[in-house]
Amino acid sequence: MKNKFPFLLSFLTASLFYWISAPSSVAAPLVSIGDNTDIYFNGSSSLRWASNIFRNEEDEESDLSWTISPGLEINIGRGISNADFTVITRYDIVRYEEYDRLDTELFHIEALGTYESSRLNLNGSASFDEIKMNDGQKNVVNDLVELDKTAGELDAEYRVSPKFSFSAGVRYNETEYQTFKNLFSDRATIAYPLSVYYDMTPKLDLILGYTYSTTDITGGNSFGGLFDPVSSYEQDTDFFNIGLRGNISTKLTGFFKIGYRTVSAGDTNLTNAGVPVRRIDRNDRDMFGLDASLTWMATSKLLYQLALSRDYNTGGLGEATEVTRANLVGNYSFNTHWSAMANLGYTETDSYYLDRENEQFTGGLRVMYVLNTYWRFTAGYTYAENDSNQVNSSYESETLDLTATLRY
Q: What CATH number is associated with residue 304?
A: 2.40.160
> Is there a domain that residue 95 lies in?
yes
> Is there a domain that residue 6 lies in?
no
> Is there a domain that residue 289 lies in?
yes
Supply the pLDDT for residue 272. Answer: 56
Q: Quick one: CA dihedral 132, 137, 143, 146, positive or negative?
A: negative
> Is there a domain that residue 139 lies in?
yes
Number of domains in the chain: 1
| Residue 135 CB contacts under 8 Å (≥ 6 apart), including other chains | 55, 386
Tell me the average pLDDT across 291-299.
Answer: 97
pLDDT tens figures, 39-68: 999 999 999 999 999 988 888 999 999 999
Q: Return the percentage of the chain with pLDDT > 90, whole number.
A: 65
**pTM here?**
0.86
pLDDT tens figures, 202-216: 999 999 999 999 999
Which regions of 141-203 does DSSP assign to beta strands (E)? Answer: 145-159, 164-177, 186-201
Tell me the average pLDDT across 249-270.
Answer: 87
Supply the pLDDT for residue 313. Answer: 86
> Is there a domain that residue 285 lies in?
yes
Tell me the average pLDDT across 71-94.
Answer: 92
> Is there a domain that residue 187 lies in?
yes
> Is there a domain that residue 119 lies in?
yes
Q: Give yes or no for residue 347 having a pLDDT over 70.
A: yes
Q: Give yes or no for residue 312 having a pLDDT over 80.
A: yes
The confidence band for 14, taking pLDDT boundaries of 50, 70 and 90, is very low
> Is there a domain that residue 13 lies in?
no
Mean pLDDT of the chain: 87
Residue in 337, 327, 397 with CA at minimum distance from that of residue 368: 337
Q: Which domain holds residue 332?
A: 31-407
Residue in 382, 377, 357, 375 with CA at minimum distance from that of residue 367: 377
Supply the pLDDT for residue 81. Answer: 80
